[in-house]
């Protein structure tokens, strides 16, 4: 899949693109079945809420490890996902920084505070914000079910100060409240990213984004495929985060079969 000039201009301007119905219902069914299987695994790659429900599943794109998954391995290499990432990063030499399936169980699935992904990734040692994430919805997603919000154009603000969010089991870096209030008051309204299962969203690593609680009666699952230019691989410090969150597999991905998800089932 090739982005048009208009789409590339929109990404440069707004910092994100939405692709409705990017994956079919049959492909989504395969991926959802995989999520149900992976959610039963107990390993360091699986984070759970204080209530015991799954918060995040990492490293589902590789061919080894406790959370390996052939369908998700195929998904990240489809031209529908990989080619737009290559285009917005301006290079064919792209690898997966990490994959993360964020789960929001019905009623109890909690929020993710306003943040920029590059806040964490710069601390990992990535020199430049030559990074982007491709999100695929594995359920029909609404604002009520804890859908993503994006602040258009916020990637142009550069990297903002962040603090560690201690409110969830998985510690992440978020924007301090007063700074975020200031940014929101001086920005276009946040865009709710909603749609049917199979919808894709590609966004810049400095775009401000957040999501709310899942107050619906259905679980909400999204996969985030975070990618980096090979030339921008991190300069690891003395105590780097583990491989499942900061991949050491820096080999560029190759475009593979666009029907790979269903073939891997």
Q: What is the pTM assigned to this prediction?
A: 0.93
Tell me, what's the pLDDT at 100? 96
- Average pLDDT of the segment spanning 7-24: 98
CATH architecture, domain defined by 5-263 = Sandwich (2.60)
How many CB atoms are closer than 10 A to CB 36?
10
Domain boundaries, the chain: 5-263
What is the rounded distance in angstroms from the CA atom of residue 64 to the CA atom of residue 153? 38
Does the pLDDT of residue 205 top 90, yes or no? yes
Across 195-221, b (16+ Cβ under 10 Å) vs e yields bebbbbbbbbbbbbbbbbebebebbbb
Where residue 201 falls among pLDDT bands split at 50, 70, 90? very high
């Amino acid at each position: 899949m090739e982005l048009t000039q208009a789409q590339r201009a929109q990404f440069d301007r707004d910092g994100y693109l939405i692709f409705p119905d990017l994956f079919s219902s049959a492909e989504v069914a395969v991926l959802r079945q995989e999520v149900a299987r992976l959610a039963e695994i107990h390993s360091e790659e699986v984070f759970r809420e204080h209530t015991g429900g799954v918060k995040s599943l990492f490293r589902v794109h590789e061919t080894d490890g406790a959370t390996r998954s052939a369908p998700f391995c195929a998904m990240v290499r489809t031209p529908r996902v990989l080619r737009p990432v290559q285009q917005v990063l301006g290079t064919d030499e792209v690898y997966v920084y990490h994959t993360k399936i964020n789960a929001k169980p019905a009623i109890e699935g909690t929020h993710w505070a306003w943040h920029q992904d590059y806040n964490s990734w710069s601390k990992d040692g990535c020199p430049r914000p030559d990074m982007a994430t491709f999100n695929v919805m594995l359920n029909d997603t609404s604002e009520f079910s804890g859908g993503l919000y994006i602040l258009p154009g916020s990637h142009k603000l550069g990297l903002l100060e962040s603090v560690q969010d201690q409110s969830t089991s998985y510690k992440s870096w978020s924007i301090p409240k007063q700074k975020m209030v200031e940014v929101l008051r001086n920005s276009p309204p946040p865009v709710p990213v909603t749609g049917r299962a199979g919808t894709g969203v590609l966004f810049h690593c400095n775009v401000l984004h957040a999501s709310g609680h899942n107050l619906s009666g259905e679980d909400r699952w999204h996969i985030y495929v975070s990618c980096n230019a090979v030339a921008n691989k991190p300069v690891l410090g003395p105590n780097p985060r583990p491989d499942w969150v900061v991949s050491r597999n820096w080999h560029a991905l190759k475009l593979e079969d666009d029907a790979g998800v269903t073939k891997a089932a």
